[in-house]
Amino acid sequence: MNTIQSTHAKQDDGLSSALVFLLALGAGLAAASIYYSQPLLGVLGTDLQTSAAAVGWVPTLTQLGYALGILLLAPLGDRYDRRRVIAIKAGLLAAALLLSSLSPTLGVLLVASLALGLVATLAQDIVPAAATLAPETRRGRVVGTVMTGLLLGILLSRVVSGFVAEHFGWRTVFAAAAVAVLLLGLALWRVLPPFAPTSRLPYGQLIGSLLQLWRQHPELRRAALAQGLLSVAFSGFWSTMAVMLHGAPYHLGTSAAGAFGLAGAAGALAAPLAGRYADRHGPARVSLAGAALTALSFAAMFFLPALSPHHALWLIAASTVGFDLGIQVSLIAHQTIVYGLDPAARSRLNAVLLSSTFVGMSMGAALGNALLAQAGWTGVTALAVMAALGAWALRLQAPAQTRQG
């Protein structure tokens, strides 16, 4: 016990700004790996001489691999030295990216895509590592900064991928990413301190303990369910927006729809501010404010039918900034909450939180598309508002002293 406490004390003292930046960069590169393929599907189909439906399995298997990795691999950070886990996953991710770049057939690319998703969960090893290294008084700020890197990686991945593919070919995208991840893994191996394992459970019991943690911690359930509901709203909007903008009265193409994604930068850049506020006033209060902002931002879109197309687009843009900020702020707050529940189980707690988020994303996409067909954009907006209000109500159930920090 004294050894572990001594290790954590040294880690707290050694958390430099350069190390935080490197962790943020690592989280961004790992998360970006999941999305490189999305702008490339057209050229992939042509180059590999396969149909659009078949090549659509590339991002699908990547996302499936990521979901499986969160459940099956992310908890390993509690069982083994997290520094070693990060280095091994970085090497495997670089190998999966390289295999993607060299794939001669669609079948090989599909195998590489599934493997890539599994080990891209490297991002979810880096975030708990940052939370462990940070002293309690700075944990929200440090997690927020690392999440900024992760969110910017997601935001910029499609832009970088499309640009590189257009000028140098799609295989260069994956090859360059493989080199970047490999260099990152070597750098993290050199600068990260060893992490003492916090669990000795065999693998089967380690995975089974996820359910035990769910039952043990009401705040974990509240945070996971609230973030899952916010993800329903988020995914319901983004899975239908391009279709909505393509039709009357907007008649906009895919590039215009993609431009709205730049609003994600607002959430990414606000993440460290949310972390600082969580350190000062308590993360539960921040999550409550984030859910309220999300609900109000979606509710504003009920007024779209009364506006001209020009003014409606401005309202959509403003609402997008608002709800993205609210959802990202809530995510930072929820991560800060769950990381503080049990320092010995941070990887598993993170896996539970993100599993709920992924389930919410899937449900939001399915419900959003069904409602768009049956009730139009008003139905999608209603879904998003109700989901965000559900998250807000869950946060209200937190003990009063927790909300007050």
Counting every residue written for the chain, the total comes to 405
Distance CA 211, CA 209 (A): 5
Regions in the chain scoring below 50 on pLDDT: 1-13, 254, 401, 403-405
The segment(s) of the chain belonging to CATH 1.20.1250.20 are: 2-198, 208-403
In 44-124, DSSP assigns E strands to none
What pLDDT score was predicted for residue 405? 44
Fold of the domain spanning 2-198: Growth Hormone; Chain: A; (1.20.1250)
CATH of the structural domain 208-403, one choice from 1.20.1250.20, 3.40.50.300, 3.40.50.1220, 1.20.1080.10: 1.20.1250.20
CA atoms within 13 A on the CB side of 227: 29
What pLDDT score was predicted for residue 240? 76
Sign of the C-alpha dihedral computed for residues 93, 28, 293 and 313 taken in this order: negative
List Cα–Cα distances, 63 to 57, 99, 118, 220, in angstroms.
10, 17, 9, 24
What pLDDT score was predicted for residue 265? 63
Statement: the pTM of the whole predicted model exceeds 0.85: no
